[in-house]
Amino acid sequence: GDDRAAFRLLLACPTGLSASEVSVVFDAAYDRIPHPDGTLEDSVSEVWDRRLKKNPTLFNGMKFRYCGCSLIRGAEFHQKTNVCLHLGLTDYRTFVGTNLNPLWEKFLVPSTDDRRRCQHTSNPLGNGAIVETSDHRIVLLRRSNNVGEFPGHYVFPGGHPEPQEISITGHQTADGDQARQLLNDAVSREMFGSIAREVVEEIGVPPAELSEAVFMGISERALNVRPTAFFFMKCSLESEGIQRVYRTAQDGYESTQLFTMSVGDVEDVVHEMPGCHQGGFALYKLLMN
């Protein structure tokens, strides 16, 4: 009954998908639509300005906006069903002003169609990784008190894919089908490249010690309708080695402690995670089964 913990699985891929099995259509058609209520729309700037006044270090970075997905079925019976993600652009300011707005539920449209339901919210696509050590334990972090969301909670390593990493600053007009495909391919690679970077930066593990990421699906926490793509990765280090490299992690300031837990231990603390991360653990269990 706690909305902070409640989640929905927007997309589940129980067999896991490799980078070649996940594609992207990046288009302005998937951007947020401003709310027709002018007063509510004005609150986006007001909420952001209040947050910025309290914390001048906030940065309004650009993010990819999740607007659903489509399934691409293989021609042959034995072929996997691939996934195509529909992504637009948004930014952190709009996320704070819509999804994190005290009036966030007023931005939702009554509809069973998620694209229509969330058309007025920012919905930046986050990412998270279930990292399994060589001694079969799962890596969790305790978030620091300086982060914007869920300080002090258990989480899996993660963050966001970043448009600027592939030189996206807006919806530039792609010249022809080939240029559009190259751009879509670059965004798709960023989906997988970004989660590897997040794991390296947050827990300090060298990239060579990590397996290729496997896409498990997308969960959404009920609170603020926050979507997060989850991946599975294996690490060749044992728990002791993970603890050692964590001491020099580049983004170690985002967390106060690293844990390596058995699946049973994670079950014991999963209620202390944000809903989207609980959904990530549910996706991991589907993959393992």
Check residue 75 and give its pLDDT.
65
In a domain, 215, yes or no: yes
Would residue 274 count as lying in a domain? yes
Q: Which two tokens stand for residue 177?
A: 């089908």
pLDDT band of 146, cuts 50, 70, 90:
low
Domain that holds residue 131: 7-288
pLDDT digits (tens, 9 = 90+) for 58-75: 889 999 999 999 998 876
What is the tally of structural domains in the chain?
1
Please count the CA atoms within 13 angstroms of the CA of 140 that sit on its side-chain side: 25
Q: In what order do the strands lie in the sheet with 82-91?
A: 22-26, 82-91, 62-72
- Give the residue-averaged pLDDT of 253-276: 92
Please tell me the predicted confidence (pLDDT) of residue 1: 44
CATH number at residue 91: 3.90.79.10
In a domain, 1, yes or no: no
- Going by pLDDT thresholds of 50, 70 and 90, the confidence category of residue 148 is low
What values do phi and psi take at 179, rounded to 5? -65, -40
CA atoms within 13 A on the CB side of 243: 8
Is residue 2 one of the residues assigned to a domain? Answer: no
Within a domain: 160: yes
Q: Is the residue at 226 inside a domain?
A: yes
Range 270-274 average pLDDT: 91
- Domain assignment present for 126: yes
Is 252 within a domain?
yes
**pTM of the entire predicted model:** 0.93
Beta-bridge partner residues of 219: 9, 228
DSSP SS3 for 216: strand
Check pLDDT > 70 for residue 27: yes
Quote the mean pLDDT of the chain: 92
